[in-house]
Amino acid sequence: MQAYLYVRGLLAPPGSQPFFSYTFKAANRYLDAMRSWLRTAFVLLLLFAVATVFLALVYRPPEPGSVPEPPHAFHNLTLSAEGIEPNRVEVEQGSLVVLNLTSVDAEYLFSLPHYGVSQRVFGNETVSVSFLASRVGTFTFQSSPVSPEVMSHAGTLIVTP
């Protein structure tokens, strides 16, 4: 009977500890690690709750209409084999520029690289592109035909302060 108790770990041989004492020590280390993790999670949750309440009480979004919209600048450009009409566009800095591109004869690729504008315009169609004129200066835009028998044409965008 005593041998059975030794094998099962219920009775330790003289001078050693029973199996269960090792198991309890490991379980206590695991529980200590879990308590530390739970304590950290609780503190983070508490900080999140305090920040949420603070934002709910203090922060107020702006009223609709209180933030001014940038002025709009609308321009109609005609793309054809003869060129771009008008080939000079002048806008103020900070305005939202809307270009209505109309192709009258072929398919063109319109590009204004300094503002990241690139748009394909099919024949006899009108397409609108918009961008915010944020940089002052003179910038080149161009229309390149998809077919090789028509030449590319360029124009100028002037952004004034």
- Check residue 15 and give its pLDDT: 60
pLDDT tens per residue across span 44-77: 999 999 998 888 888 787 777 777 777 888 899 9
- Check residue 18 and give its pLDDT: 53
| Cα 159 to Cα 70: distance, rounded to the nearest angstrom | 14
pLDDT tens per residue across span 106-134: 888 889 888 888 889 888 889 999 898 88
Instruction: Look up the CATH number of domain 72-160.
Output: 2.60.40.420
- Check residue 35 and give its pLDDT: 82
80 in Cβ contact with 155 (< 8 Å): no
- Check residue 7 and give its pLDDT: 47
H/E stretch holding 92 reads strand 88-92
- Check residue 139 and give its pLDDT: 92
Range 84-104 average pLDDT: 90
| Cα 114 to Cα 141: distance, rounded to the nearest angstrom | 9
- Check residue 91 and give its pLDDT: 92
The predicted model scores a pTM of 0.56
Could you give the 3-state DSSP secondary structure of residue 114? helix
H/E stretch holding 142 reads strand 137-145
- Check residue 5 and give its pLDDT: 47
- Check residue 59 and give its pLDDT: 79
- Check residue 87 and give its pLDDT: 87
Per-residue pLDDT band for 14 (boundaries 50, 70, 90) equals low
